[in-house]
Structure 1
């Protein structure tokens, strides 16, 4: 497995793991205060998710670099740039559709808490689509 493929899998696992922890914490918050709680109650789990994801991403990047030290210093070639561009295009599509859906349901009376949570979910889902697209493209041998 090439360095960039390992990195894509590590970042995918990081995004999924960090988001799972975030959802678990938010579920506990919703159980206590409900969906109409103060939006500030989302700040600690959001910061925690960012810190956890950063730590996991660093660990995954180091592990991928240690397994292929020469490849980790190589610049991205045309194939790498094409894979990244296609994966980013898919993620942009998720963001576009998701924002349209969020704007639509906002008129149904979403609270600020629900709106912020939906936006965080949308951004994380787009990143998951991007990393999964990269990992799968490398696995299939683009």
Structure 2
């Protein structure tokens, strides 16, 4: 399995492990009065958790196969990453337009912030899934 695919799996696992509980918590608990410190503290905690998972995972990958971790991305790796980033960009723009154009008319404040955070995380998950799928099925430029 190429290092870039391992990294995509790791990023996917880290995001799911960190942000699924956060969004479940944010969905069931009211944000409280402004400045929403309780929810922001939870977001900071899950972000640190995600970074720790990524850091430890990359250290394990580097220890298992140091030459693979240091190898530069080849043409196929760059093409897969470029395709996934391109699709993710369009998904993010669609989400931003949807959130920015429709949500202010029926809700506001914290709901818009949560929807935006969810969109960013969902698009990053989609980017990682696209990378993994392209490696699994074999990318054909």
Could you say whether these structures have the same fold, taking a TM-score greater than 0.5 normalized by the shorter chain as the test? Answer: yes
Pick aligned residue for 1:92 from 85, 89, 94: 89
What SS does the aligned partner of 1:107 have?
A: helix
Return the offset for 1:28: 4.2
Determine whether 1:6 maps to 2:9: no
Using the size of structure 2 for normalisation, the TM-score is 0.88
Determine whether 1:44 maps to 2:35: no
User: Stretches of 4+ moved more than 3 A in 1?
Assistant: none
Question: What is the CA deviation profile of residues 104-131 of structure 1, one whole-angstrom value per residue up to 9, with x for unaligned ones?
Answer: 2223232211011011101101110111
Q: 1:139 to 1:67 in 2, by over 3 A?
A: farther
What SS does the aligned partner of 2:91 have?
A: helix
Match of residue 21 from structure 2: 21
RMSD of aligned alpha carbons: 1.7
What count of residue pairs does the alignment treat as equivalent? 138
**Contact 1:39–1:113 (CA under 8 A) maintained in structure 2:** no
Pick aligned residue for 1:53 from 50, 53, 78: 50
Using the size of structure 1 for normalisation, the TM-score is 0.87
Determine whether 1:67 maps to 2:40: no
Structure 2's unaligned 5+ residue stretches are: none
**Contact 1:7–1:61 (CA under 8 A) maintained in structure 2:** yes
Distance 1:81 1:28 in 2: 40
Match of residue 102 from structure 1: 99
Match of residue 81 from structure 1: 78
Structure 1's unaligned 5+ residue stretches are: none
Question: What is the CA deviation profile of residues 75-94 of structure 1, one whole-angstrom value per residue up to 9, with x for unaligned ones?
Answer: 11111111110010111111
**Contact 2:80–2:131 (CA under 8 A) maintained in structure 1:** yes
